[in-house]
Amino acid sequence: MSESWVNSGRRTGSDLHLELAATGSRRAALTRALRDAVRDGRLASGSRLPPYRSLAADLGLARNTVAEAYAELVAEGWLTARQGSGTRVAQRVGAPAAARVPRRVTGRAPVHNLAQGQPDAAAFPRTAWLAAARRAVGAAPNEAFGPGDPHGRTELRRALADYLARARGVRTEPERIVVTAGFAAGLRLLFSGSALQRGPLAVEAYGLPFHRELLTATGVPTRPLPVDEQGADTAVLGSLDDVRAALLTPAHQFPTGGPLHPERRVAAVDWARARGTLVLEDDYDGDFRYDRQPLGALQGLDPERVIYMGSVSKSLSPALRIGWLVLPAQLVEPVLAVKGEREGFTSVVDQLTLAAFLDSGAYDRHLRRMRQRYRRRRDQLVAALAAQAPHIGVSGIAAGLHAVLRLPPGTERATLKAAAWQGVALDGLGPFRHPDATGPAPDGLVVGYATPPDHAWRAALEALCRVLPPDLAAGDA
């Protein structure tokens, strides 16, 4: 049995016929009826829904029941709510795509890509890179075209030593640098042979699941360190008795975004000294800091206790597969022994090109340009949220290529569904959390504001604002 009502749609100017099932909760019945009306086209894309109060009066429901039904449908992506323009039927852009999680899921390509993880691919400095490649290949000695040295080309190690000392405060010389095929390859290298003792590794309670899985697969279990706005709580390290080393993102905690507090930096290094162990420093986006001078590398505090790890995946492109380890002196030979006789992964031609790119100043110029671009986007993201969703907090914005949006409790999953339905690729905060982490597990989104090309950025930002959950405390829509 069902009851039916015809709503005069006084403010919308259109009649709305809704049939509410007589059984079950009123809110569920209304949600279902509205969803059906959108699905079968009776409520067209873009049309405005009645204010809570008038629909509640027409249907004989409590105002809150209508507000909650609208909120649920906004979170699912059927409706959008914007301050000043009320609640409307969402513009549907295509069939639902699966919600994005850090491990890529299959589905149609998103219309708006705000997934975290990569720089603006359209901004790859093609001309300058080609010019560097031309110079590097032209000047390279014949032996450069033989098998690669697993240590990495001297030209690149020299250029990196200069750059890292100047820009990141790393204390090194070229002999301590080992070229890798990126951060993940470096991590594998450290633990897959006998360079480092395999044993539990302290990691941040929020981090990339891919890295945790890689470690587990290499026989290295991980133990979570609590994370807050001051980065990882390194004071906890002393109480983790079985831990052999620690992996941290000191410049910009990934993904929550805080820099590691100075006292915590010192505590991490003191712990490594006292235990006779090591800190692994993941400096994945340390070149991108917007509001003040970049934070120098933790490695600068003690090069014998900190392994510095970096790559060009955020600064240039993850397609290049070039990274580096800056090692304590006694670890260079053991790591090279794991690499074996020949370089097996990173192209020597690309290494020479990167060396030429660094030496000519093109890398600095590219970073300056990208910093300006990403800072502008960061500012636009913050401004759009302040105007359209002031109830959504944003953090981790001082640096990097992504920001964290704090969602109302219990709304992360539905927001991701809504985003997928509207063709917006986004990451939820939940999957970055270590499975053994304790303490609060806030709902949130990790927004990769660097990802879209410039021409698609504005539309992506608008699409993001449309899928955010409404502020239930703010009163009528």
Ligand X SMILES: Cc1ncc(COP(=O)(O)O)c(C=O)c1O
Instruction: List, as one string, the DSSP characters of 366-386.
Output: HHHHHHHHHHHHHHHHHHHHH
> Per rule CB under 6 A, is residue 318 in the interface with ligand X?
yes
**Minimum CB–partner distance for residue 338 and ligand X (Å):** 17
**Minimum CB–partner distance for residue 184 and ligand X (Å):** 4
Contacts (CB under 6 A) with ligand X, residues 173-192 = 182-184
Residue 378 or 417 having the CB closest to ligand X = 378
**Minimum CB–partner distance for residue 8 and ligand X (Å):** 53
**Minimum CB–partner distance for residue 323 and ligand X (Å):** 5
Contacts (CB under 6 A) with ligand X, residues 247-276 = 249, 254
Q: Within a 10 A sphere around the Cβ of 83, how many other Cβ atoms?
A: 15
Report how far residue 34's alpha carbon sits from residue 52's, in angstroms, rounded to the nearest whole number.
13
Structure tokens at 366: 């590219």
Contact 463, 442 (CB under 8 A): no
> Per rule CB under 6 A, is residue 311 in the interface with ligand X?
yes
Q: Which of 76, 282, 287, 343 binds ligand X (CB under 6 A)?
A: 282
Q: Which of 208, 232, 392, 416 binds ligand X (CB under 6 A)?
A: 208
> Per rule CB under 6 A, is residue 429 in the interface with ligand X?
no
Q: What pairing do the DSSP bridges indicate for beta strands 402-406 and 393-395?
A: antiparallel
Contacts (CB under 6 A) with ligand X, residues 66-125 = 117
Report how far residue 29's alpha carbon sits from residue 22's, in angstroms, rounded to the nearest whole number.
8
Q: Which of 80, 313, 411, 415 binds ligand X (CB under 6 A)?
A: 313
Helix axes 362-388, 348-359, angle to 10 degrees: 80
Tell me how far CA of residue 186 lies from CA of 20, 197, 211, 231, 279, in angstroms: 59, 15, 11, 23, 14
Q: Which residues contact 272 (CB under 8 A, 6 or more apart)?
A: 245, 246, 278, 279, 302, 305, 306
**Minimum CB–partner distance for residue 185 and ligand X (Å):** 6
> Per rule CB under 6 A, is residue 428 in the interface with ligand X?
no
Residue 448: strand pairing partners? 402
> Per rule CB under 6 A, is residue 451 in the interface with ligand X?
no
Alpha-carbon Rg for the chain in angstroms? 26
Residue 228: strand pairing partners? 231
Residue 43 or 370 having the CB closest to ligand X = 370
Residue 96 or 431 having the CB closest to ligand X = 431
Instruction: Tell me the window of 215-223, 312-320, 406-414, 468-476 that interacts with ligand X (CB under 6 A).
Output: 312-320
Residue 183 or 421 having the CB closest to ligand X = 183
**Minimum CB–partner distance for residue 13 and ligand X (Å):** 49
Provide the 3-class DSSP secondary structure of residue 158. Answer: helix
Report how far residue 18's alpha carbon sits from residue 11's, in angstroms, rounded to the nearest whole number.
17
Residue 421 or 449 having the CB closest to ligand X = 449
Residue 89 or 446 having the CB closest to ligand X = 446
Provide the 3-class DSSP secondary structure of residue 243. Answer: coil
- Applying CB under 6 A, which residues contact ligand X? 117, 182-184, 208, 249, 254, 282, 284, 311, 313-314, 318, 323
